[in-house]
Amino acid sequence: MTPMQRALDQARAAAARGEVPVGALLLAPDGRVLAGAGNEVEARRDASAHAELLVMRAAAAALGQTRLEGCTLVATLEPCPMCAAAASHFRVARLVFGAYDPKGGGVEHGPRLYHQPGCLHRPEWIGGVSERESAALLRAFFGDLRRAPGSE
């Protein structure tokens, strides 16, 4: 199973818990999985409990260090500005993401943080990996919310 497929599994699990279906993995330089998570914003009542932040924090704790140099962050959605900035601060080497986020993204959209002159660290990044599957999960989740009784 590819890392993105594992991240998609995390996103599906998040959706099953009523969370926005975003999943993430943090891979060590040798490719082993250090951490995996789905969004936990609602469960934790914490607006910062995005999947990306959860895996970066967990991986740093598992490694006993503050930086994730040489590591790869895999996420099912283009990271928001908060998560993109955190990846820079954690010194993540690579970022791989699925669906693009024209409204809330911070890498290819919005502030495009890694293009800013003041950016502390610019990871390599590639977007659009399993984009259709990632986007379909999000569309289905929000479609179901719109159709839910009392959502009007």
For the question of residue 69 being annotated catalytic, the response is no
3-state helix, strand, coil in the chain (%, to 5): 40, 15, 45
What SS3 class is residue 31?
Answer: coil
The tokens of 18 are what? 């009523």
C-alpha distances in angstroms, 57 versus 49, 51, 89, 109, 130?
A: 10, 10, 11, 24, 25
List 40, 52, 78, 108, catalytic entry:
52
Residue with token string 């989740």: 141
Please list the active-site residues: 52
